A and B are shown apart, each in its own frame.
Chain A
Amino acid sequence: MLRFAARRILGMIAVLFAISVVVFLIFNVIPNSDPAQRIAGKNANPALIARVTADLGLDQPLPVQYLTMMRKILTGELTSYASSQNVVEQIWKGLPATLSLCIGAAVLWMTLAIIFGYLSAVHSGKFTDRALTILSLTGISMPVFWLAAILLYYLSYKAQLFPTSSYVPLTKDPLDWLYHLILPWITLAVLFVGFYSRVLRSNMLDVMNEDYVRTARAKGIGERQVRLRHVLRNSMIPIVTLFGLDFGAVVGGGAILTETVFNLNGVGLYAGQAIGSLDLPPLMGVTMFGAFFIVLFNTIVDVLYAFLDPRIRLGEAAPA
């Protein structure tokens, strides 16, 4: 078990290293613009540009620049080229908003997905199922930012039901925090509810045909108990693993659109701003943050799967 964990962690580090190199290369090798020039401003003379270049260490060879940047990330000293803000600090500040958004949306989408998926599977082929399927498919067909804009327009602006934007910290006012997050939660959840309810439905329909479900019925257990304790329980295993991956991806950067439209000061919004100004340090920081989360959850999911399925946890079956 320990060796398994050690290997996974090593793999994680390798992947993160690769990602950092790729991001670095993308922004240093590909574009034909010089960050020093941009920072120095439109009317800068060569001397100014040269000084900015030296200041930021941009005249060093690429590998040195890379190592310096990595070191700064790990020590929390990384500063933006454009605004001289500390990148790590900014990410840290954005975390509460991002986590509030993602965790809340996750709770909402999983709850709804389980309910819809279960109902769809149990009433398979009938009206409920068809209606829920259409709803789900529509949900996964919507651009997130567009849905956000529509909700903002109709529910905030026109109907005045919800506040139009910005994030209120939980610690300041829990009710207000909730109030401001409802629309963002709905926006982010719609896509995932559609996807997960269909996966659950599909899993449940498969499991319903399994022999052990027939055995459960033959035991004289109530139908609802068969559905919950046998069908649903066994159908959830793949869902839990998918959820881990998606949650990691959402925290890691998938929330950028929602945060932008609803003006939530999260990590995603910060990333969006950095991209707009082609600011490498924050971009690097945010990408590493995102990748770390994704890889972390990948690993958690692998370990979790072993726990949920005793066949894997306890090794191969005994010979028949």
Chain B
Amino acid sequence: MILEVKDLTVSFATDGGVVRAVEGVSFGLAAGEILAIVGESGSGKSVTAQTLIGLTRAPNTTISGSVRFDGVELTDLDDEGLQGVRGERIAMIFQDPMTSLNPVYRVGDQMIEMIRAHREMSKREARDRAVDLLRQVGIPNPERRVHDYPHEFSGGMRQRVMIAMALSLDPDVLIADEPTTALDVTVQAQILRLLDQLNRERGLAVVLITHDLGVVAEIADRVAVMYAGQIVEEATLDELFYDPLHPYTWGLLGSLARLDTPNPERLAQIPGQPPSLLRPPTGCRFAARCPHEFDECAEPPPLDHDRCWLEPADQRRLREVDGRIGLRKPVAT
């Protein structure tokens, strides 16, 4: 494991109270693997990703837990120490390439800025490297494009630029925060293919944040499912799709339109809403929406593959709904 996260907890002090956005999150990332973190909006996945390299540090933020990278405890590092890690060993790309690049600087200059912040290189050498990187991510005519401004690129191209920039120092890990959400479906596929290629050819480990199970299915090796600030299930890709153990995961899968199993006439939605993170429930956070909830669920379940009190045997039985995996509708009372 090059990246090990243990018990990461992040809370924000706001006008309305303390929001416990991330609670006790633990996972590991092995060298060269792609880990997907899936969850809906507000599940805490982006906050988790950004906290890994300390981007959420602020006066109103409380962070506890451990993030160990290559033997170094990142949460102990001060800003200067983190600068040595950011970009150099762990790089990050974000959701919206439109707004993630500074509009007043040329793309090449932004890449050169990053390169020269970590390496002793002349501007010319850095620019050559930038051109090379642009070529590697599939941008045509890189010698000319390196002088262009961000708005002169299309969305998909801009995301490639972001990826190129992220790779410029040969990092070990790439954190990709919803890299395809803002892109068209066809472009999405291209970007995912690019990430997959980078992973295979360079052994680049990727933490992929997404809400889209389709994206997960494309390239992930392992998956962690987040709900209400906690990880509720951790599994390999096959395990997740064919042997999921947590009711929330069943609900997610049940709402997918799939080609390999029969679809119901109407795709099921998980009834209810996620709990407020201002005052999260003390027991299982999914209990209020779970049709299989029982008295044990008032205690917080521990995470071992799945955060649920149900026994695997029961889980495998209960998740079959109408011939496919899904969440049974609650019994009307």
List residues of chain A with CB under 8 Å of any chain B CB.
210-212, 214-223, 225, 229-230, 233-234, 237, 308-311, 314, 316-320
Question: Are the C-beta atoms of A214 and B94 separated by less than 8 Å?
Answer: yes
**Cβ of B86 under 8 Å from chain A:** yes
Question: Are the C-beta atoms of A211 and B87 separated by less than 8 Å?
Answer: no
Q: How far is the CA of A222 from the CA of B82 in the complex (A)?
A: 10
B-chain residues with CB within 8 Å of residue A229 when the two chains form the complex: 113
Q: How far is the CA of A211 from the CA of B154 in the complex (A)?
A: 18
Interface string of B101-120 (1 = CB under 8 A from A): 11110000000011001100
Q: How far is the CA of A62 from the CA of B333 in the complex (A)?
A: 92
Q: How far is the CA of A316 from the CA of B151 in the complex (A)?
A: 8
A-chain residues with CB within 8 Å of residue B80 when the two chains form the complex: 222
- In the complex formed, the residue of B with least CB distance to A210 is B99
Other A-B pairs beyond A218-B55, A221-B113, A318-B152, 20, CB < 8 Å: A211-B96, A211-B100, A212-B102, A212-B103, A214-B55, A215-B94, A215-B101, A218-B86, A220-B84, A220-B118, A221-B117, A222-B117, A233-B104, A308-B104, A309-B103, A310-B104, A310-B151, A311-B149, A314-B149, A320-B98
Beyond A314-B152, A320-B155, whether A219 also contacts B86 by CB under 8 A is yes
Question: Are the C-beta atoms of A320 and B55 separated by less than 8 Å?
Answer: no
**Cβ of B184 under 8 Å from chain A:** yes
**Cβ of B245 under 8 Å from chain A:** no
Beyond A219-B113, A221-B114, A221-B117, whether A212 also contacts B100 by CB under 8 A is yes
Cross-interface CB contact of B149 among A215, A310, A319, cutoff 8 Å? A310
Q: How far is the CA of A311 from the CA of B105 in the complex (A)?
A: 10
Instruction: Determine how close the nearest CB of chain B comes to the CB of A204; give it in whole angstroms.
Output: 14
- In the complex formed, the residue of B with least CB distance to A310 is B149
Instruction: Determine how close the nearest CB of chain A comes to the CB of B111; give it in whole angstroms.
Output: 9
Which 6 A-B residue pairs are closest in the complex by CB-CB distance? Answer: A320-B155, A220-B87, A220-B86, A317-B151, A211-B99, A219-B114
Prevailing SS type, chain A contact patch: helix
Beyond A221-B83, A222-B117, whether A318 also contacts B153 by CB under 8 A is yes
Instruction: Determine how close the nearest CB of chain A comes to the CB of B317; give it in whole angstroms.
Output: 45
Instruction: Determine how close the nearest CB of chain B comes to the CB of A136; give it in whole angstroms.
Output: 23
Instruction: Determine how close the nearest CB of chain B comes to the CB of A286; give it in whole angstroms.
Output: 39
Question: Are the C-beta atoms of B104 and A220 separated by less than 8 Å?
Answer: no
- In the complex formed, the residue of A with least CB distance to B114 is A219
A-chain residues with CB within 8 Å of residue B149 when the two chains form the complex: 310-311, 314
**Cβ of B79 under 8 Å from chain A:** yes
Instruction: Determine how close the nearest CB of chain B comes to the CB of A103; give it in whole angstroms.
Output: 27
A-chain residues with CB within 8 Å of residue B19 when the two chains form the complex: none
Q: How far is the CA of A310 from the CA of B152 in the complex (A)?
A: 10
Instruction: Determine how close the nearest CB of chain A comes to the CB of B145; give it in whole angstroms.
Output: 12
B-chain residues with CB within 8 Å of residue A320 when the two chains form the complex: 98, 154-156, 183-184
Question: Are the C-beta atoms of A211 and B94 separated by less than 8 Å?
Answer: yes
B-chain residues with CB within 8 Å of residue A220 when the two chains form the complex: 82-88, 114, 117-118
B-chain residues with CB within 8 Å of residue A222 when the two chains form the complex: 80, 83, 117
Interface string of B151-163 (1 = CB under 8 A from A): 1111110000010
Instruction: Determine how close the nearest CB of chain B comes to the CB of A137; give it in whole angstroms.
Output: 24
Question: Are the C-beta atoms of B87 and A310 separated by less than 8 Å?
Answer: no
Question: Are the C-beta atoms of A217 and B86 separated by less than 8 Å?
Answer: yes
Q: How far is the CA of A11 from the CA of B257 in the complex (A)?
A: 60
A-chain residues with CB within 8 Å of residue B94 when the two chains form the complex: 211, 214-215, 218
